[in-house]
Amino acid sequence: MVTVKETRQTVPEFAKWSFSADGKPLAIDDFLETYRKQGVFYEGKEQWLKGVSKVTWENFFLICTEELDDISQRAAKMLVVYCLEIVEDIVSRMRGPVSAAKIADAMKREFDEQYENRVYQFQWAMRHEAVRDAVTNAVMNRWGK
């Protein structure tokens, strides 16, 4: 059973995110739908995702494999949410004005090539075209100015 609190934790406040390349409002589902139409996503059964509703550092590599050929639209959305949670965590610890460049610098300082390192996982997920474009657009629309 999903409680209201769990729902809030699994879905960041998307009102502050726009996924368009031009800064206009665009919801994550609409953004990812354009990639689905291009055939970017895996569309078969996802037995390995049964019961998974949120990406965590513990289950990250179950969802985001090395080959990236089994990333469905649902998995991509969960990965985008996870990446944006990582960005928000980084931003919450920054001092002064925030910009996309400062976020990138902070992430470089926290990067460690360890499977359990969330910034390493962020970089791993960003190899997928739809995830990379969604996260990049969202960050640039919010802090890139």
pLDDT in tens, 21-50: 998 999 999 999 999 999 999 999 999 899
Q: ∠ CA(95), CA(112), CA(73), 5° rounding?
A: 90
Indicate whether 135 pLDDT > 70. yes
Mean pLDDT of the chain: 90
pLDDT of residue 78: 97
Alpha-carbon gap, residue 12 to 44, rounded angstroms? 27
pLDDT of residue 144: 87
- For residue 112, the tally of other CB atoms under 10 A from its CB is 11
Q: What percent of the chain has pLDDT over 90?
A: 84
Assign 145 a pLDDT band (cuts: 50, 70, 90).
low
pTM: 0.88
Indicate whether 119 pLDDT > 60. yes
Assign 14 a pLDDT band (cuts: 50, 70, 90).
low
Alpha-carbon gap, residue 42 to 53, rounded angstroms? 17
Computed on alpha carbons and rounded to an integer, the radius of gyration of the chain in Å comes to 15
**Residue boundaries of the structural domains of the chain:** 16-143
Indicate whether 9 pLDDT > 80. no
Alpha helix locations (H) across the chain?
4-10, 28-37, 60-63, 73-92, 100-110, 118-125, 129-143
Indicate whether 13 pLDDT > 70. no
Alpha-carbon gap, residue 125 to 110, rounded angstroms? 16
Alpha-carbon gap, residue 80 to 19, rounded angstroms? 10
- For residue 106, the tally of other CB atoms under 10 A from its CB is 17
